[in-house]
Structures are given as structure tokens and as C-alpha cells.
Amino acid sequence: MRARFRSLLQIMKEISKALLYFFLFVVVVPVLIGVMQDIPTGNILSFLASTFILQAAAPPLGGPLGLTRTVTLAIMASFSIGVTLGILEVCESLALTSDRVSRWIGNVGKKMEKYPVIQKYGAVSCILIAWIPGIGLYGTPIIAWILGWNRWLTVVFTTIGFVIAATFVLFVAQSIHSLQDILLLVAAGAMCVIVIVVLGKFTRQKRT
């Protein structure tokens, strides 16, 4: 009975920490940044709502809401920190509520001990994982938690990757001034895909 009660307290602690991190970095810090820059709180909250949905693709919406590039990227960084820490805490609480998940994570940890380099420096790859469509900001901390990477390094490198992606999107959005630019960008992307597919088929044929 006592063990179950302690487990429940630990779970509540992890969830409380997740909510605290989320509220502090996702809401409070961005609103304070907006107050210091004389930006209406409603505009900040609207941008945060867009960031929830679009993630790193949200920066172009900052301009119409009165956010400068510096403010936009600062809010994106704070958002990333809050979301990453919050998800990591939720993952910890999930492990506490499920023996199966806890055993599975333990087995993954034992396997990762065979690769100390990945265990030590794997968090750096969060910079690139945060760019992967379908994973992005929300999936990166889950992958890092499963593989047992250092929590704070995961936060740092995930945020770096997220801000770099946001900066890239902002640069592209500001560089496109006409429909012709958009068509050229789409054409360039299509050419890259075609080249990759052709090279992949050629490589497979050569092996066979």
C-alpha cells in the first residue's frame, strides 16, 4: 500500500513538473517577452497557438502579428524548451505507471550500454531529428528519452535544431516575393527528389 502511494506521489510529481515547465516556458516567458517589446498579449498567444500546430513553420506568421525576427526566434526557443522538458517529464511518468514500459526502457538502456559513444554524444543528433517531418519537436524528446540520452543536452540540442529550422523557414519566406519564386522552389525540390530516386534505382541495379 505504501509503495503504491509513493508511486502515485512520484507520478503526480512528474506530471506537475511537466505542467510547470510547459506553463513557464511556453506561456509565461513568451508573454513577458511581448510585454518588454510592447506587443499585445493576444498577438503573442495567437502566435503560440500557430506554433503548436505548425511548429517550425510558424515564424512567417510572426510579422503580421507585430513580432520582429528576434522576438519570433526567442519565443520559438522558449517554446521548444518548455515542450521538450514537458514531454520528457510525461515520458518519466509513463514509465512509472507501466511496468511493461519500464522493463522495455530498461532493456533498451542495456543495449545502448554497448555503444558508449552513441550514449554520450547521441543527444547532438537531436539537432537533425528536430528537422524530420512527422517527428519534429514533439517526437525528438521521446526518441531521446527512449535511448536514454542526457536530459539537458537533449533540451539544448533540440532547441538549437528547432531554432535553426525556424530561421531557415523565416529566411525562405522572406526571400519569396512572387509566384515565380514559389514555382522555382517547388521545381528545385522536385528535381532533388527525382535525382535521389534515380540514383537509388541505379545503385540497386548495380548491386544485383
pLDDT given at position 135: 82
Q: What is the Cα–Cα distance from 68 to 105, expressed in whole angstroms?
A: 42
pLDDT given at position 124: 87
pLDDT given at position 14: 75
What percent of the chain has a predicted confidence (pLDDT) above 70? 65
Mean pLDDT, the chain, rounded, equals 79
pLDDT given at position 107: 61
149: helix, coil or strand? coil
pLDDT at 179 over 50: no
Q: In this predicted model, what pLDDT tens digit does every residue of 69-94 receive, in sequence order?
A: 999 999 999 999 999 999 998 888 77
- The contacts of residue 184 (CB under 8 Å, 6+ apart) are none
Cβ atoms of 73 and 164 within 8 Å: the answer is: no
pLDDT given at position 82: 95
Instruction: DSSP for 62-131, please give it.
Output: TTTTT--HHHHHHHHHHHHHHHHHHHHHHHHHHHHH-HHHHHHHHHHHHHHTT-HHHHHHGGGGHHHHTT
pLDDT at 196 over 60: no
Q: What is the Cα–Cα distance from 50 to 66, expressed in whole angstroms?
A: 14
Q: In this predicted model, what pLDDT tens digit does every residue of 168-178 receive, in sequence order?
A: 888 877 766 54
Q: In this predicted model, what pLDDT tens digit does every residue of 26-59 receive, in sequence order?
A: 999 999 999 999 999 999 999 999 999 988 889 9
pLDDT given at position 128: 87
Q: Where are the domains of the chain?
A: 2-175, 178-208
